[in-house]
Structure 1
Amino acid sequence: MSVEYITGRKVSLRKANPEDADLLCKWYADGRVMIHVGFPDGLHGDIDELRQRLAVIDKGNSLFIILDEYGNPIGECNFNNLNKESCDIGIKICEIAYQGKGYGQDALTIFVKHLFTTYGLERICLNTLLENHRAQNLYLKTGFKIVKTNYDCWIDPTGTSRSSVEMVLTKNDADFVK
């Protein structure tokens, strides 16, 4: 089976596979990575369960590994709730040394372009923590617009009340897709 790559200026994306489960679980367990999505102590999932999930092809949900210019895995992006008009996405640069250096912007740009062109979507949606200004600035720079703020919408595992920002990118606002 050949691996398909989606290539940008600094990064490439490839679909995650069962062999990526160990690395993904390592990233998810790292509180320095997961604090930005509301899990300051990380998430500690079952590697075998993740491996099985990655083995199943599901057109409505998919996980991609972000690779640097040398092919090293540095993060992940995903989509879910795919329907004929939209989907929800998430993206993380999980290797701390790569954060803030343009890898996330390149990954986000090629990822949403891939989703718009492959699935003919009208819009892409995401949620981010209200305090995650770095992510919001990246999304705004890419063309996303804030559509709603949800105050005190969930309690994280430490008991802290969290608020989130819903953002949307429409096909018409994504100049780089045209």
Structure 2
Amino acid sequence: MLYGERVRLRAVERTDLPTFVRWFNDPDVRQYVLMSEPMSMAMEERWFENRLSRTDDYLFGIEAHVGDAWVHIGNNGLHRIDWKSRIATFGIALGEKAYWGQGYGTDATRTILRFAFGELNLHRVELDVYDFNPRGIRCYEKAGFRHEGVRRQAIFRNGQYHDVLTMSVLQHEFMMPGA
């Protein structure tokens, strides 16, 4: 397990799949991730089986410490890792909406970045975020990501085109004292 200040990251298990289906069938959650169509259990099981053999992907369940218990509130991961250039794409989804806007996403992001740079020795972690996700943008900025560019009107959601912002953080930027 990887521990942050308020969260821990753990391996994703097959028993988590019904929770994922519930989260990603919620339009409020789904609008911020790559998928746009509802998900079936069969689709999620196929995805899970396919990712078991991948060597370019780390996926973690995010658990928040609430009272005396740990509650599974979302997932994050490092995807499409290029081991030669030491680059990964970051993704996060907080599926439990009751935990939105409370700093759990920022803590989970910082925790996985410590793993990416301190354990995997990655050089760069990058992401895309939609312009209509100010909460996500703020989370990434607080975790150390910097804006790099904009892909104008690159995603169609909620009946209109939106910009996709590209952000990244480099190992030396994140590992500096105070980061």
TM-score (norm 1): 0.87
Tell me if structure 2 keeps the 8 A contact 1:19–1:51.
no
User: Identity, % of aligned pairs?
Assistant: 22
Tell me if structure 2 keeps the 8 A contact 1:30–1:43.
no
Query: Which secondary structure does the structure 2 equivalent of 1:68 belong to?
Result: strand
Q: Report the CA distance shift for 1:51/1:118 in structure 2 as closer, same or farther (over 3 A).
A: farther
How much has 1:175 moved relative to structure 2? 3.3
Pick from 53, 57, 60: which aligns with 2:47? 53
- 1:18 paired residue number: 14
Tell me if structure 1 keeps the 8 A contact 2:6–2:107.
yes
Aligned residues: 171
Query: Which secondary structure does the structure 2 equivalent of 1:32 belong to?
Result: helix
1:71 maps to a residue whose letter is: W
- 2:64 paired residue number: 68
Rounded to whole Å, the distance in 2 between the matches of 1:50 and 1:62 is 17
- 1:29 paired residue number: 25
How much has 1:94 moved relative to structure 2? 1.4
Give 1:148-167 correspondences, 5 Å limit: 148-156=149-157, 158-167=158-167
How much has 1:38 moved relative to structure 2? 6.9
Query: Which secondary structure does the structure 2 equivalent of 1:101 belong to?
Result: coil
Structure 1: gaps spanning 5 or more residues: none
Deviations 1:95-135 (A, max 9, x none): 11111111111111101111122321100000000121221
Q: CA RMSD in A?
A: 2.0
TM-score (norm 2): 0.86
Structure 2: gaps spanning 5 or more residues: none
The answer to whether the aligner puts 1:95 opposite 2:96 as a matched pair is yes
More strand per residue: 2
